[in-house]
Structure 1
Amino acid sequence: MDNLIYEKISNHVGVLKINRPKYLNSLNIKTLNEINMFLDEIKKDNDLYVLIITGEGDKAFVAGADIKEMKDMNSIEAMEFSKFGNKVFKKIENLEKVVIGAVNGYCLGGGMELALSCDIRIGSNNSKFGQPEVSLGIIPGFGATQRLLNVIGIGKAKELIFIGDMIDSKEALNIGLLNKIVDNPVEEAINISNKIIQKGPIAIKQAKKSVNFSYNKNLALDYEVECFANCFNTEDQKEGMEAFTQKRKAEFENR
């Protein structure tokens, strides 16, 4: 795997790192493919009880999807991209392991959607969170319009999605996006993992299934995919992403 690093640090705990620090660990199609293949392999490891997901370096967990790769997509390509990202994140959400997101630095867009697919989220003091997609003329496409409102409530979710501003780790903790803030998220995730693996592994699996049953039946992820793809038929999407790559403010014209 070119963009992932995996280490099994004990019989029952593994750490997966998104390894594109030069690009703030942004999610391109190749990285999503690698995560997808990794998940297919890891689910066969019956001795793995907890998977920790983090980003390489201290600047970013994942700073979003790869805008340069997305900006020239048409609506059909965008729909396939969104479907695939959703497929990968559903696998994380429904993995028969506990998944802990150890969030270091920027956790934006697709990165926040990755974190939302984890069972538990631990942040660092310098973590920054946000769904800035509307600034690009699009909407979240990997599940945030559904998972975020279930995690923090519909009002706060609409605020974050409609405005697109970043929030710090303290606010993320206050609204329930984070479980806790620590100096070293991976270290704390390991501490939590060591408590979890002492409990009945079958009971943990069944507990996760039961919690997810009610949670997942209300997710309209397929509709999010459709709305995400619709944005790629607009001039606003082209302008928003072009402006991002040119490091200027977008000028939207509502068409």
Structure 2
Amino acid sequence: MTDKLIVEKRGNIALLTMNNPPANTWTEESLKALKALVEELNADRDIYSLVITGQGEKFFSAGADLNLFADGDRSVARDMARYFGEAFETLSQFRGVSIAAINGFAMGGGLEVALACDIRIAEEQSQMALPEAKVGLLPCAGGTQ
């Protein structure tokens, strides 16, 4: 699928690690891969739970890669909003228990992926925010709900 998502199955648990250094940001590729992965896990009757975490110690996920929006192309923002929505809606419908293991900053789409999970567990130093408005965007993947 993508090297930006690492999946390890441990018995009945799937551990998904977001792996897009330095801030584990989401891209079109990783959002499409997340959707496909959750659909695949839903079909695997041996998997009862999904744990999502971020690679490294500083970021769970900083959300969207803001470089994607640098040129101001509205079609990119529209498409990314759709990819975020589809991926996180699919995650919210995972047939087992989904757990966000928040191990650092969870910003924008990084917080929204956690909100799409059934359970959120955050380390003491974790910080969470929806800063999209500061860059002219709306939380488009569940952050307003």
TM range (shorter): over 0.9
Shift of 1:9: 1.3
In structure 1, what residue type is equivalent to 2:13?
Answer: V
Contact 2:105 2:128 in 1 (8 A): yes
Name the SS of the counterpart of 1:145 in structure 2: coil
Greater length-normalized contact order (CA 8 Å, ≥ 6 residues apart): 2
For these two proteins, the number of residue pairs brought into alignment is 144
In structure 1, what residue type is equivalent to 2:18?
Answer: I
Residue in 2 aligned with 1:71? 70
1:27 aligns with 2:26: yes
Contact 2:68 2:76 in 1 (8 A): no
Shift of 1:72: 2.3
The RMSD of aligned alpha carbons is 1.2
Residue in 1 aligned with 2:127? 128
In structure 2, what residue type is equivalent to 1:15?
Answer: L
Map of 1:39-58 to 2, 5 A cutoff? Answer: 39-58=38-57
Quote the Cα distance in structure 2 between the aligned partners of 1:125 and 1:64.
20
Residue in 2 aligned with 1:2? 3
In structure 2, what residue type is equivalent to 1:85?
Answer: F
Quote the Cα distance in structure 1 between the aligned partners of 2:77 and 2:56.
29
Shift of 1:73: 4.6
Residue in 2 aligned with 1:14? 14
Cα distance per residue 1:183-234 (max 9 Å; x no partner): xxxxxxxxxxxxxxxxxxxxxxxxxxxxxxxxxxxxxxxxxxxxxxxxxxxx
In structure 2, what residue type is equivalent to 1:137?
Answer: G
Quote the Cα distance in structure 2 between the aligned partners of 1:77 and 1:21.
22
Quote the Cα distance in structure 2 between the aligned partners of 1:32 and 1:4.
10
- Runs of 5+ consecutive residues of structure 1 not aligned to the other structure: 147-255
Shift of 1:70: 2.1
- TM-score, scaled relative to structure 2: 0.94
Quote the Cα distance in structure 1 between the aligned partners of 2:138 and 2:84.
14
* Identical pairs, percent: 36
Shift of 1:37: 1.9
- Ranges of 4+ aligned residues in structure 1 off by more than 3 Å: none
Shift of 1:113: 0.5
Quote the Cα distance in structure 2 between the aligned partners of 1:90 and 1:101.
15
More helix by share: 1
- Runs of 5+ consecutive residues of structure 2 not aligned to the other structure: none
Quote the Cα distance in structure 2 between the aligned partners of 1:27 and 1:20.
8
1:107 aligns with 2:106: yes
Quote the Cα distance in structure 1 between the aligned partners of 2:40 and 2:118.
20
Shift of 1:109: 0.5
Quote the Cα distance in structure 2 between the aligned partners of 1:73 and 1:106.
25
